[in-house]
């Protein structure tokens, strides 16, 4: 018997709701319907029409922070334009290639709250000209 069928959503807490909403909008997530909870927040939806990121708004971040979420991963397309977007934000990021047999491109970068975001791209996406192998990449100045 399998109880878990699929990933449903991630939840993050933020004291930067506007910056967080704008950041994820640039990744293609959009706000949508949310139950009338007693706490402020918003749900962000992917193209398939499912809320995949729940955001809870707080005045100040809790101390100590809860949980041990290492990162959240999304499937993406058009790695080149995503890298251009990150460079335009002067964002720190790293790009790695998963080992055989998968060879998936994995792009990691922080959101405005310090949560690590991963976007996985199909192995057929072209290798960036400046890719140095599985080493950290930083934006050009």
Give me the CATH number covering residue 60.
3.10.180.10
At 67 the pLDDT is 67
Q: Is 53 helix (H, G, I), strand (E, B) or coil?
A: strand
At 140 the pLDDT is 43
Considering the entire predicted model, what is its pTM? 0.79
At 7 the pLDDT is 81
Same domain, 86 and 138: yes
d(C-alpha 116, C-alpha 128), whole Å = 22
d(C-alpha 116, C-alpha 108), whole Å = 7
CA distances from 93 to 33, 77, 118, 137 (A): 31, 17, 10, 6
d(C-alpha 67, C-alpha 21), whole Å = 21
Same domain, 75 and 60: no
Same domain, 141 and 75: yes
At 135 the pLDDT is 67
At 28 the pLDDT is 94
**How confident is the prediction along the chain (141 residues), in pLDDT tens digits per residue?**
665 577 889 999 999 999 999 999 999 999 999 988 888 999 999 988 889 999 999 998 777 776 667 788 999 999 999 999 999 999 999 999 988 888 899 999 999 988 899 999 999 999 998 888 876 655 543
Q: Last residue of some domain: 37, 66, 95?
A: 66
At 136 the pLDDT is 61
Same domain, 98 and 75: yes
Number of domains the chain is built from: 2
SS3 readout for 58-93: CCCCCCCCCCCCCEEEEECCCHHHHHHHHHHCCCCE
d(C-alpha 42, C-alpha 32), whole Å = 8
Same domain, 32 and 88: no
């Amino acid at each position: 018997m399998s109880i878990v069928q699929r990933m449903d959503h991630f939840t993050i807490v933020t004291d930067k709701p506007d910056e967080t909403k704008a950041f994820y909008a640039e990744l293609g997530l959009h706000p949508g319907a949310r139950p009338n909870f007693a706490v402020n927040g918003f749900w962000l939806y992917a193209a398939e029409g499912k809320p995949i990121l729940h955001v809870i708004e707080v005045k100040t971040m809790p101390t100590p922070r809860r949980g041990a979420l290492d990162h959240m991963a999304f499937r993406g397309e058009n790695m080149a334009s995503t890298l251009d977007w990150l460079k335009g934000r002067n964002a720190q990021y790293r790009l790695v290639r998963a080992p055989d047999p998968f060879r998936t491109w994995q792009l990691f970068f922080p959101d405005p709250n310090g949560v690590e975001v991963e976007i996985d791209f199909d192995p057929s996406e072209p290798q960036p000209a400046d890719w140095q192998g599985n080493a950290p990449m930083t934006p050009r100045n």
